[in-house]
Amino acid sequence: MVLRLLIVLLVALASGAAAADRPVTFSRPVTFSRDIVPLLQQHCQECHRTGGGAPFTLSEYSHVYKRRDKILEAVEKRLMPPWKAVPGYGDFRGERRLTDAEISTIARWVAGGAPEGDPKDLPLPRDWSVTTVLDSPDVVLRPEQAYTVAARSGDVYRCFSIQTSFSEDRYFRASGVVPGNPKIVHHILAMVDPEGLSARLASGRGSSGDGHSYPCFGGPGVRIDGYLAGWAPGGRPWDLPDGVAMFLPKGARVVLQLHYHNTQLTAQTDRSEVRLRAATGPVQQRLRFMRVGRFSLTIPAGNPSYQIETGAPVFRPIHMIAIHPHMHLLGREMKVWARMNDESVKPLIHIDDWDFNWQGFYWFRTPVPLPVDSRIELTAAWDNSEGNPRNPNKPPRDVYWGERTVDEMGHAAILYTFDDEKPR
């Protein structure tokens, strides 16, 4: 891992040097106003702006100058912009990635003293106001009360069980999440709890709930049947293809899973919400949800590379819309592909440097068709050795499948539709 970062770094440095050898690119100094701001607008400000979810903005010269070394380190190690999927393996909407040339531009800017240049060269500020489901929702779901996260809490995973009040089944075609307190909200996932069992976990009777929420790390602790929304910094609203809708059965509850991280010196409160837009016109297909992976695991203490290989056959023709790999703190790698009915292989997603803090849904640029008799196949690997700095057990101990922090999981959640579904 360290070795790989080093190699990436060396390659980046080497390509920087190669670019510098070319007189055309070397002839004028790289300046903030002319060369850097367009890169920040395109690749960083989606999150690094007011309300964008990142802890600081990257727009003013003085702010960027102050952080120039950290910025260079983050882009050279490809920690920023955050995007865990290996490029070229699976084809996704909204891929975040700097080119080698862009990284070497930043490197040359820093090496040249990070000059501001002529403010006349500045491009117009980028306009981030877009009209989405967030502006005109049909339904807003939020926890009954605000939740307080203690000062300097570190990571807190909390599930809120939200009552819905519809007298019939409902269908939604778009959703968005509004984090209540961006200073502490890291991730949000909204899940359908068809039987409403999360109410009991939240009740506090025989559980660690407080009446409306309960602690939850890897999952909601109840059987869920689909997702309604998801958010991480830079996350965009979900907008499903025409005719496809998310299903919320009558009487269901919605579980809102929040990952908080409070680094502030004071306690912080949050009340985040999910906004939904109803389906208009006939629903051709319901957005379905499945998990492919292993749901029983024993990862031996000390094993630096415990691997599994598993899969699931496709019995009805489907189109895959999005994929969300999921492991906990010991996870290192996951690769998912489809073995088609003619034995050809279609890459779906590969994460070779798993980070629990950067997970979420990856949306295929175009939905991926899988015919009957194809298979979804997956490999995953965990590092349960002492050498893994994220190992929560010191010394390491055997780890089993489960949803708690000390447990592990290993699956890909997949959002898909059935091709042969009858419109309703």
Using CB under 6 A, list all residues that contact ligand HEC.
43-44, 46-48, 53-55, 67, 70-71, 74-75, 80-82, 96, 98, 233-234, 357
As measured in angstroms, the least distance from the Cβ of 358 to ligand HEC is 7
Record the tokens describing residue 409, joined without a space.
């999981």
Nearer to ligand HEC, 103 or 412 (CB): 103
As measured in angstroms, the least distance from the Cβ of 123 to ligand HEC is 16
Nearer to ligand HEC, 52 or 243 (CB): 52
Nearer to ligand HEC, 35 or 46 (CB): 46
Calpha distance 401→407 (Å, rounded): 6
Nearer to ligand HEC, 357 or 393 (CB): 357
As measured in angstroms, the least distance from the Cβ of 42 to ligand HEC is 8
As measured in angstroms, the least distance from the Cβ of 278 to ligand HEC is 29
Record the tokens describing residue 244, joined without a space.
């496809």
Q: Who's near 117: CB < 8 A, 6+ residues apart?
A: 29, 31, 32, 33, 34, 35
Residue with tokens 């908080």: 260
Q: Is the peptide bond before 179 cis (omega within 30 degrees of 0)?
A: no
Do β-strands 410-418 and 268-270 pair in parallel, antiparallel, or remain unpaired? unpaired
Calpha distance 25→413 (Å, rounded): 45
Q: Who's near 409: CB < 8 A, 6+ residues apart?
A: 218, 219, 293, 297, 326, 327, 328, 401, 402, 403
As measured in angstroms, the least distance from the Cβ of 420 to ligand HEC is 37
As measured in angstroms, the least distance from the Cβ of 74 to ligand HEC is 4
What DSSP designation does 78 have? Answer: T
As measured in angstroms, the least distance from the Cβ of 235 to ligand HEC is 8
Does residue 68 contact residue 110 with C-beta atoms inside 8 Å? yes
* DSSP per-residue codes, 7-23: HHHHHHHHHHHHHHHSH
Nearer to ligand HEC, 106 or 399 (CB): 106
Nearer to ligand HEC, 60 or 309 (CB): 60
Q: Which helix (H) or strand (E) holds 73?
A: helix 68-76
Which residue in 106, 83, 87, 84 sits closest to 96, CA to CA? 83
What DSSP designation does 25 have? Answer: H
Calpha distance 330→253 (Å, rounded): 31
Does residue 326 contact residue 413 with C-beta atoms inside 8 Å? yes
Nearer to ligand HEC, 55 or 387 (CB): 55
As measured in angstroms, the least distance from the Cβ of 276 to ligand HEC is 23
Nearer to ligand HEC, 39 or 287 (CB): 39
Nearer to ligand HEC, 38 or 204 (CB): 38
Phi and psi (nearest 5°) for 107? -60, -40
Calpha distance 405→144 (Å, rounded): 26
As measured in angstroms, the least distance from the Cβ of 59 to ligand HEC is 12
Q: Who's near 37: CB < 8 A, 6+ residues apart?
A: 59, 122, 123
Record the tokens describing residue 125, joined without a space.
């500020």
What DSSP designation does 121 have? Answer: G
As measured in angstroms, the least distance from the Cβ of 96 to ligand HEC is 6
Nearer to ligand HEC, 79 or 340 (CB): 79
Calpha distance 241→366 (Å, rounded): 10
Nearer to ligand HEC, 122 or 340 (CB): 122
As measured in angstroms, the least distance from the Cβ of 83 to ligand HEC is 8
Does residue 137 contact residue 275 with C-beta atoms inside 8 Å? yes
Residue 335 β-bridge partners? 350, 379
